[in-house]
Amino acid sequence: MSERSFMATKFIPVSCICNGSNLGSMSPRPHYPSMPRYPNGLSPKQNREDGSVLKVVFQVTGMTCSACATSVEKSVKRLPGIREATVDVVTNRAHVFFYPSSVTEESIREAIEDVGFQATWVQEETDIDKPIQVCRIRINGMTCTSCSSTVESALQALRGVQSSNVALATEEAEVYYDPKVVSYNQLLQTVEDSGFEAILISIGEDISKIDIEIQGIKTDHSMGTVTKSLRALPGVQDVDVFPQLNKISISYKPDTTGPRIFIEVIESTGSSHFKAMIYPQGRGRDSHRQQEIKQYFTYFLWSLIFTVPVFLTSMVLMYIPGIKRVLDAKVVNKLTIGEILRWELSTPVQFIIGRRFYIGSYKALRHGSPNMDVLVALGTNAAYFYSVYTLLRAALSRDFEGTDFFETSAMLITFILLGKYLEVLAKGKTSEAIAKLMDLAPDIATLLTLDEEGNVIREQEIDSRLMQKNDVIKIVPGAKVASDGLVIWGESHVNESMITGEAKPVTKRKGDTVIGGTVNENGVLHIKATSVGSESALSQIVRLVESAQMAKAPVQKFADRISKYFVPMVITLSISTWFAWFLAGDLHSYPHSWIPSSMDSFELALQFGISVVVIACPCALGLATPTAVMVGTGVGASQGVLIKGGQALESAHKVNCIVFDKTGTLTVGKPVVVNTRLLKEMLPREFYEIVAATEVNSEHPLAKAIIEYAKKLREDQEKPVWPEVQDFVSLTGQGVKAIVRNKEIIVGNKSLMLESNISIPMDAEEALAEAEGMAQTGIIVSIDREVAGVIAISDPLKPGAREVISILKSMKVKSIVVTGDNWGTANSIAKEVGIEAVIAEAKPEQKAEKVKDLQASGYTVAMVGDGINDSPALVAADVGMAIGAGTDIAIEAADIVLMKSNLEDVITAIDLSRRTFFRIRMNYMWALGYNVLGIPIAAGALFPSTGFRLPPWIAGAAMAASSVSVVCCSLLLKNYRRPKKLDNLGIQGIRIE
């Protein structure tokens, strides 16, 4: 947990978090430190209900290149409360979406000017009630980064679209948009207009969606009646109808309604003639991937059936005398049987099996963004139609004997389809992490019906997708927990390693929270479902990993820039190659002996040109980064390290300075009272009753430590009732004040006492000094403006913390402690773990300033904190790492979430990012190597000296192999193992009962 914030002197206050903080949602017995979903100062209500997102546009003067735009963008994104920021160097404008509760337009303008540019406000959307919604779309038909860039640009151009991100590797788009300005149907239509198939995956971050199949509906009127009944239900957001499938998709708020209600309404509407059930379907992306794999395999198989005879008749059977005589038999003039056979067999391959390349080429050229399909169509058409020309001329002429290239076009298509099949097969394996996470959810749940006294009167097995909020579910030993919930009966141990990575089973009893997808090991539990559907921890983890796999790393811009010019450049090179060889042959610039006996100089030049076209592969460049990011984020999720995308991965591999928070990061985060010195004549129980009453309104760990200690002094009461409190005030960074039993109580640090004109006696000073010397936190208690006692609180150091800092030093990573605790405690903890640089008594904004100072000194900084008071620093850092996560994992501030309470995962995150970027560099070497080396060879660079030339069908095979090799190189990341030094430490997860 975060330190009790920032002291101006040597004390920590007992409460620094106001009542409005987001801690109220924490479980009564928190096992994992939870983190805020929203920027500091923004309430969940604001963000969930009205969006509270504003947009401001600045005209930025002085930018000259993309590096300038990047520096402006980075400066703005470091501010707390920034939702999205994009800077366009062409229009010289910065578009910033922000939470007004956390940052102002003036702060954004100053951030731009801080990096050396002039910023002028241009436009502001002032509708604070404007909701910002997210829409995820599956896009079929993309082949390279040129395709994804086309779709992304088309979506971005729509009015009302905040930002769009189209991922080639996942074939999905994530669009943030204003539903008051643009509808999701318009987004789908825009994708369709760009030449690709669009399928809606989901709408909204906080809205659940379910598909229901209805049997028995025979008329449109009946379907309309059902739809009208569903729309009338409270909580139903939208109903989409698919009559041809007898399916309806319902978007709803799980707090208000649920799928069992929908089924009941549907079946009652039809006078018992309608039957409703969950629509049978696969797991979204996985089922689509399987369908794509099957489709490519079918295409390849049919292409192979036609191509093998073409290859045999042109390359093999021609050397068997008897068969050669048959194939060379003349039909008309010089037209032979073999040529007719090859024409007939290659035509279905070219126009039926290869139809997808024509469609893709047409769509790409229509939008002015030529892609891989254009290269394939150009190469195969050149070979096919030249062959048709030779056949027709041979049939019409008695003395013309040309050579056909039907085997070239057929084999090209076959090899490219084989490559695409292997590519989608390999790409399917890059997202196995998501499939494994989704498989954690059980298919069946046991629903309990309780009477008014809480006794079970009925048990019923239901599809787990039919669960609704507040359902009571029975979990038997060995079964998976069906949803996030609260234990209302029973006691057991639950294995949460599949979610948190922590191997040790966790004791669960009445009042404790459980996470859906975890495994109950022994006793029976009855849980009350608190989060179902998209709100569950498992769903949020899956969504976080999916978003991470879609997010582009900055290095991806390199491939995007190349892809814009790649295909036109290759076509130009191809035509130039053909013309150069043809001209050289026509002018007899090379010996006639170079020309193979089966062709003339024109045909030789044509083969060189075709080889150049088909060997160039923009797909490999487009897949180099996203496939590695997909595998890396998936591996991270399996290790308990949730990485929020390519930006975080790229920044993490450069980290050379880590700023650590203290409480909950270097320490366990479960403070306990270890000593009390009373300076007034009063009983400890009486003293702690007053202090506990003052602190009971605080959610801070130090306050909870005091309350827990006070409870032990009142063992006769299971739920003690504290004295009534009046005029409670929380002073951030100092402490709390209240009136208890008509006495003014002040609990906090030394600065609070001095500001309140309360003198601190020598005994209290000695107690404070003694506590600080033992790395403890001292709390001063004042009653009626007189110091009544000093409480010493200790937060033990995490096991292995010193070893982790030592390993970071060996990785050439500097470590710093920045804490709100007092100097004495901070220095003691830092000395114990081996950190030399310490900043103590720092407020949240001072932590962020320290991070920015380090960045200005040339460091790439990671901030490791608990995500509560550290949010500004987490946002300001190049990489924000939130250590520890409970059921609420949809955090805003951090770039990387360390699911376990282990410091060692900081090392795992950095090491994994370095390995991932090593793979990305390797991928670029493969992709660029094929093109940089392959194109000259295909153009005949080696032919004059060695006589070696690359036939077009071999060039096509090389083209296919380049994409496959890149994906396979990324897949090697699946074998990632964390550094052996960590295994030798044997550090275990920290758990506090």
Give residue for tokens 């006996």. Answer: 597
Quote the crossing angle between the two packed helices 285-311 and 337-348, to the nearest 10°.
Answer: 180
Q: Is the pLDDT score of 45 beyond 50? A: no
Name the most confidently modeled range: 342-346, 376-380, 510-514, 867-871: 342-346
User: Which residue matches tokens 């409460």?
Assistant: 15
**What's the rounded Cα separation, in Å, for the pair 902 and 799?**
9
* Helical (H) or strand (E) element with 876: helix 871-876
The candidate with the shortest Cα–Cα distance to 938, out of 414, 410, 408, 578, is 578
Q: Express each pLDDT in 897-913 by its tens digit.
A: 887 767 888 999 999 99
Mean pLDDT check: name the lowest of 576-585, 786-795, 813-822, 851-860.
Answer: 813-822
661 is catalytic: yes
Of 902, 852, 699, the closest CA to residue 5 belongs to 699
Q: What is the pLDDT of residues 639-685, one digit of tens each?
A: 888 887 778 888 888 999 999 888 777 887 778 888 898 988 888 88
Query: Residue 912: what pLDDT?
Result: 92
Average pLDDT, stretch 432-455?
A: 78
What does the pLDDT read at residue 13? Answer: 31
Confidence (pLDDT) at 432? 66
Q: What is the pLDDT of residue 620?
A: 78
Amino acid type, 697: N
Burial (CB count <10 Å: 0-12, 13-18, 19+), residue 38: buried
pTM of the model: 0.65
Least confident of 149-158, 371-380, 633-642, 697-706: 697-706
Q: How far apart are CA 990 and CA 665, in angstroms?
A: 11
pLDDT digit string (tens) for 838-863? 888 777 778 888 888 898 898 999 98
User: CA 261 to CA 470: how far, in whole Å?
Assistant: 14
pLDDT higher than threshold 60 for residue 230? yes
pLDDT at 38: 34
Q: Cα–Cα distances in Å, from 696 out to 54, 186, 676, 735, 920? A: 36, 52, 19, 13, 52
Q: What is the mean pLDDT of the chain?
A: 79
List C-alpha distances in Å: 169 to 567, 624, 965: 20, 9, 15
Confidence at 350, pLDDT banded by 50, 70, 90: very high
**Is residue 18 predicted with pLDDT exceeding 50?**
no
pLDDT (tens digit, 9 = 90+) per residue, 178-225? 888 888 888 988 998 888 888 877 776 545 778 888 887 777 788 888
pLDDT at 243: 76
CA distances from 395 to 24, 328, 344, 390, 599 (A): 87, 13, 15, 9, 18
The Cα–Cα gap between 7 and 11 comes to 6
Query: pLDDT of 419-442, one tens digit each?
Result: 788 878 876 776 666 666 667 778
DSSP string, 749-766: -HHHHHHTT----HHHHH
Q: Decide: 637 and 499 in contact? Cβ < 8 Å.
A: no
753 and 741 Cβ atoms separated by less than 8 Å = no
Q: The dihedral of CA 925, 928, 932, 935: what is its sign?
A: positive
Judge whether 170 and 626 are in contact, CB under 8 Å: yes
pLDDT (0 to 100) of residue 42: 35
More confident of the two residues 71 and 6 = 71
Q: Which range, of 16-20, 231-235, 446-450, averages the lowest pLDDT?
A: 16-20
Euclidean distance between CA atoms 735 and 749, whole angstroms: 6
What is the model's pLDDT at position 49? 35
Which among 404, 471, 484, 661 is annotated as catalytic? 661
The answer to which of 128-132, 209-213, 709-713, 877-881 has the lowest mean pLDDT is 128-132
Residue % of the chain over a pLDDT of 70: 84
Tokens of 168: 């080639």
Concatenate the DSSP letters of all residues of 155-168 into one string: HHTSTTEEEEEEET
Q: What would you report as the CA-atom Rg of the chain, rounded to the nearest whole angstrom? A: 34
| pLDDT grade for 984, boundaries at 50, 70 and 90 | low
**Residue 628 pLDDT > 60:** yes
Q: pLDDT class for 285, splitting at 50, 70, 90? A: low
Of residues 266 and 427, more confidently modeled: 266
Identify the pLDDT of residue 90: 61
Residues contacting residue 867 through CB under 8 Å, at least 6 positions apart: 2, 33, 35, 36, 874, 882, 891, 893, 894
Q: Which amino acid is at 300?
A: F
CA–CA distance, 589 with 592 (Å, rounded to integer): 9
Mean pLDDT calculated for residue range 920-948: 87
Mean pLDDT of 520-533: 86
- For the cut 80, the answer to whether the pLDDT of residue 557 exceeds it is no
Residue 129, pLDDT > 60, answer no
What's the mean pLDDT in 11-19?
Answer: 31
Whether 12 shows a pLDDT value over 60: the answer reads no
CB contact at 8 A, 873 and 609: no
- In this structure, the number of other CB atoms found within 10 A of the CB of residue 873 comes to 29
pLDDT at residue number 349 = 93
When mean pLDDT is compared over 80-84, 208-212, 628-632, the highest value belongs to 628-632
| Closest by CA position to 212, among listed 465, 435, 444, 438 | 465
**Cα dihedral across residues 291, 292, 296, 302: positive or negative:** positive
Distances (CA, A) of 146 to 380, 565, 595: 21, 9, 37
Higher pLDDT, 528 or 991: 528
Residues 6+ apart with CB under 8 A from 401: 334, 394
State which H helix or E strand residue 198 sits in. Answer: strand 197-203
Nearest CA to 380 out of 402, 401, 358, 403 is that of 358
How far, CA to CA in Å, does 283 sit from each of 290, 315, 534, 721, 950?
Answer: 10, 46, 14, 50, 43
Q: What is the pLDDT of residue 26?
A: 31
For residue 300, what pLDDT is reported? 92
Question: From CA 640, how far away is CA 18, in angstroms rounded?
Answer: 31
Please provide residue 831's backbone torsions phi and psi, each rounded to the nearest 5 degrees: -65, -40
Residue 970: pLDDT above 50? yes
Q: Residue 821: in which H helix or E strand, if any?
A: none
Amino acid identity at 878: D
